[in-house]
Amino acid sequence: MEKDIQVAIVTCQSRVGNTNANLQTMKTWTNIAAAKNSDIVCFPELCITGYHAREAIVNQALPIDSPAVESVLQMARDNNIAIIASLAERGESGRIYSTAFVCDQTGLLGTYRKVHLGPPEKKIFTQAENIGSLFDIKGFRFGIQLCYDAHFPELSTHMASLGADAIFFPHASPGTSASEKKDSWMRHLPARAFDNGLFVIAVNPVGDNGLGVSFPGTAIALSPAGKILASHTSDRETMTVVTLTRELIGSVRSHKMRYFFSNRRPELYNVEK
């Protein structure tokens, strides 16, 4: 991590079948994030197309070279900011993926397809067959995982082994209240940060998806020590801005008793099954 990075975390509403309105919402919040001098703005899972785990999402799926994605790239160019966004992607052979991508003022930097699908998603989506590489913004290296991915510690450990300074977890996790969702996240997300000595940033949509599924607006940023740096729980669209500092990550990784990751012995337990 070469410098401090300011991140804007946006809980916003994304409706299935209303992609243009979703993009306008993203544009509004991206403008605000840039005005607050953020380096990166992160949106929830499937913020472009809206999230649904039933057939209704199939007709909304878009290729990664679609005009909708180009609109997000233009937002990044106009605001000189990096954007983490996602959509239901229509990939090769018509397969549908939950796909995140990162772009900045130079264009599309890469994509990440969801590796672990929740049981209801398996009838609609296709799971990725590879994890891919990290993203780099101004010397700040990070991975992305989507919602259900967060429950599999090996994935975070793999990203840490590649040199991640942070992992972003865009969610589309329905049900419960925002405070209950935060409590649920606090069971496992601090462990992803603490065990691997990296920042964790998670965000959920808010409101109805247009098809009767409601999401509690929740966002959280955790330090490499697993402590809360910033969070919000709300039933309205909200943005939280947090600075991820070299000092915080350095204080963990330079401490001989607090940085556990460097003392792993993967040759003993790095098994496939």
Domains and CATH numbers, the chain: 5-269 (3.60.110.10)
Q: Per-residue pLDDT tens for 186-209?
A: 999 999 999 999 999 999 999 999
Quote the mean pLDDT of the chain.
96
> pLDDT tens for residues 137-167?
999 999 999 999 999 999 999 999 999 999 9
Q: What gap in Å lies between CA 172 and CA 147, rounded to an integer?
A: 6
User: Which has the closest alpha carbon to 135: 181, 107, 85, 101?
Assistant: 101
Distance (Å, rounded) from C-alpha 254 to C-alpha 257? 9
Its sign, for the CA torsion 117, 83, 49, 234, is positive
Identify the band that residue 111 occupies on the pLDDT scale cut at 50, 70 and 90. Answer: very high
Residue-wise pLDDT tens digits, 37-50: 999 999 999 999 99
Check if the beta carbon of residue 28 is closer than 8 Å to that of residue 39.
no
Give me the mean pLDDT over the 120-127 stretch: 96
Tokens of 105: 């003022």
Q: Name which of 64-73, 102-111, 249-258 the model is least confident about.
A: 249-258
Beta partners for residue 40, in sequence order: 7, 82
d(CA 246, CA 215): 33
**Checking DSSP bridges between strand 217-222 and strand 228-234, what pairing results, if any?**
antiparallel
pLDDT in tens, 207-262: 999 999 999 999 999 999 999 999 999 999 999 999 999 999 999 999 988 899 99
